[in-house]
Amino acid sequence: MDYRRFGNKIVARIDRGEEVQEKLKEIAEKENIKLASISGLGATDDFTIGVYKVNDKSYTEKNFKGIYEILSIIGSISTKDGEYYPHLHISAADDKGNGFGGHLIKSHISVTCELTIDVIDGVVEREINEETGLNVYKFI
């Protein structure tokens, strides 16, 4: 992984064999990021998504292995109890053009991943929403 900061924007490259969530956390902690939007693309050979079932207040996870183009990684960084809190989604396509997507649990990079992190001057906390069971934005 390597990255450069240009004002409030960070351009990052995640390399073959590295995991997206781990590297994003590493950057966020090193750069003291409390609030940001994330976008990216690349290629993966092993990724896990979750789809939230509000009635059960749980995620159904599905793992994909093979050759996949990452069409989009999109999401945010905020904080929960003052600590780093990512929320990312991924969409990816196989070699037949079939698309898959959901909440990004993990993604190991097969070639490269290019992320742009747009750092926002501020802090937005997360708090549990009892009705849905999810950690939602809490504006302080």
What is the average per-residue pLDDT within 115-135?
97
Q: Tell me: pLDDT of 112 over 90.
A: yes
pLDDT at 45: 98
Q: Tell me: pLDDT of 48 over 90.
A: yes
Q: Tell me: pLDDT of 114 over 90.
A: yes
What is the average per-residue pLDDT within 120-140?
96
Q: What is the pLDDT of residues 65-109, one digit of tens each?
A: 999 999 999 999 999 999 999 999 999 999 999 999 999 999 999
CA dihedral 69, 77, 28, 139 (to 10 degrees): 170
What is the average per-residue pLDDT within 108-127?
98
Token output for 109: 């990079």
User: Got the DSSP string for 7-55?
Assistant: TTEEEEEEETT-BHHHHHHHHHHHTT-SSEEEEEEEEEEEEEEEEEETT
Q: Specify whether the CB–CB gap between 34 and 77 falls below 8 A.
A: yes
Amino acid at 101: G
Q: Tell me: pLDDT of 140 over 90.
A: no
